[in-house]
Structure 1
Amino acid sequence: MDIAYWIVAGLLAAFYVYAGTLKVIRSRDQLRPMMAWVDRIPLPAVRALGTVEILGAIGLILPPLTGIAPWLATAAAIGFVLLQTGAIAVHLTGEDRRIALNAALIATAAVSIWLTTGL
């Protein structure tokens, strides 16, 4: 199960580091083609969301890697499930109805939770 966790968590972390970094460093105009919802959210909130994504990615990888507070990986994965649940709500309340990626991220984070708890 360790190998499966590292594959799932590594892919999830890579996605969130990429997406979070874009939200932190790019302007609203640069984000708009990829993320139609950015006009409905204040830019500081978009930046904060990107920071949370980067920190969550670190939480998936660093605690199990170091053996210090490995429960933080489970907490990070739960946070990603909640984050994407909110993202689906934002997409559905706006004109952008594309939620397939969000659903896939929820499923991937749920698998990560399962792998960290060993159920």
Structure 2
Amino acid sequence: MGATTRTYESGSGRTETILLWTVQGLLAALFLFAGGMKLAVPSDQLQAGAPIHFSSAFIHFIGTCEVLGALGLVLPRATRVLPELTPIAAAGLVVIMIGAVSTTLAGGMGVVAAILPFVVGVLAALVAWRRWEQ
């Protein structure tokens, strides 16, 4: 009789995995939506509500980065193809959120308006950090 060896994650490891996947899924949905809007909505409409004027090309560049970052948060680990791309994608989204916080503050929208992009950036940093260690 051959013995089969199974490895199970410890309780805290499993909890962390579930938490990370949840955060990654929520961030991916958020960035897919935000990036998709930047790519789909006419630039003049996007710039109407922006605190600072950016060129259409730059807005499309950010939208593309957000969509690719969203895909990078989920697909590499889900497919087990180049899973080391997940923390890199998360780190790239942190850079985008630093820009979002800076733009919000420089545009005079106030600290309260900068809280959401700050929190999203912190969550992306958490994913980058924890996935980098795995």
TM-score (norm 1): 0.87
List per-residue Cα deviations over 1:60-103 (Å, max 9, x = no partner).
11100111111110001111111111122222222223201111
Q: Give the deviation of 1:117 after TM superposition.
A: 2.9
Q: Is residue 3 from structure 1 mapped to residue 48 from structure 2 by the alignment?
A: no
Listed as ranges, the matches of 1:17-96 within 5 Å are 17-32=32-47, 35-37=49-51, 40-96=53-109
- In the alignment, structure 1 segments of 5+ residues that lack a partner are none
2:29 corresponds in structure 1 to 14
SS class of match (1:41)? coil
2:11 corresponds in structure 1 to none
C-alpha distance in 2, partners of 1:75/1:114? Answer: 10
Identity %: 34
Q: Give the deviation of 1:118 after TM superposition.
A: 4.0
Q: Is residue 105 from structure 1 mapped to residue 120 from structure 2 by the alignment?
A: yes
Aligned residues: 117
- In the alignment, structure 2 segments of 5+ residues that lack a partner are 1-15
Once superposed, what is the RMSD of the aligned Cα atoms?
1.8
List per-residue Cα deviations over 1:8-45 (Å, max 9, x = no partner).
10000000000000000101343356x423x5100111
Runs of 4+ in 1 over 6 A off after TM superposition: none
What amino acid sits opposite 1:81 in the alignment?
V
Contact kept? 2:47, 2:54, Cα under 8 Å? no
